[in-house]
Amino acid sequence: MSRLTAQQLRNLHSDDAGKRLFDGDGLYGRVRRQKEGLAVNFEFRYKMGGKARSISCGSWPGISLKEIRHRRNEYRSQVHEGTDPVEERRRRKQEQELQRKLELDAQRREMARLASRRCLADAVARWEKLELVRHKDQGREVMRGLRRDILPALGALPLEEIRRAMLISELDRVVARGSRRMANRLFSELKQFYRFAVTREWVEKNPLEGISRESIGGRETMRQRYLTEEEIVELARSLPSARLLQTTERAIWIMLSTCCRVGELSQARWEHVDLERRVWFIPEDNAKTREHRIFLSDFALEQFRALDILTGNSPWCFPARSGDSHIGTKCISKQIRDRTREAPLNHRSSAAGSLILSGGAWTPHDLRRTGATLMGELGAMGQVIERCLNHIEQNRMIRTYQRQELRKEQEEAWQLLGARLETLLLKA
Rg, C-alpha atoms of the chain? 39
**Statement: residue 219 has pLDDT above 80:** no
Coil, helix or strand for 427? Answer: coil
pLDDT digits (tens, 9 = 90+) for 342-354: 888 888 888 888 9
**Statement: residue 401 has pLDDT above 80:** no
pLDDT digits (tens, 9 = 90+) for 221-252: 667 889 999 999 999 999 999 999 999 999 99
Name the DSSP class of 14. Answer: G
Mean pLDDT of 19-46: 90
Mean pLDDT of 34-43: 89
Coil, helix or strand for 256? Answer: helix
pLDDT at 343: 86
What's the start-to-end Cα distance of the chain, in Å? 121
Task: Give the separation between CA 270 and CA 281, rounded to whole angstroms.
Answer: 10
Task: Give the separation between CA 86 and CA 56, rounded to whole angstroms.
Answer: 9
Q: Which residues of 327-347 are buried (b: 16+ CB within 10 A; e: fewer)?
A: bebebbbebbbbbbbeeeeee
pLDDT digits (tens, 9 = 90+) for 96-153: 888 888 888 878 776 666 655 788 999 999 999 999 888 877 888 899 999 999 999 9
Residue 392 pLDDT class (50, 70, 90 cuts): confident
Q: Percentage helix, strand, coil, to 5, in the chain?
A: 55, 10, 35
pLDDT digits (tens, 9 = 90+) for 304-326: 999 999 999 999 999 999 888 99
* β-strands 51-60, 38-48 pairing: antiparallel
pLDDT at 4: 87
Q: Which domains does the chain have, with CATH numbers?
A: 6-83 (3.30.160.390), 120-215 (1.10.150.130), 229-426 (1.10.443.10)
Peptide bond into 61 cis (omega under 30): yes
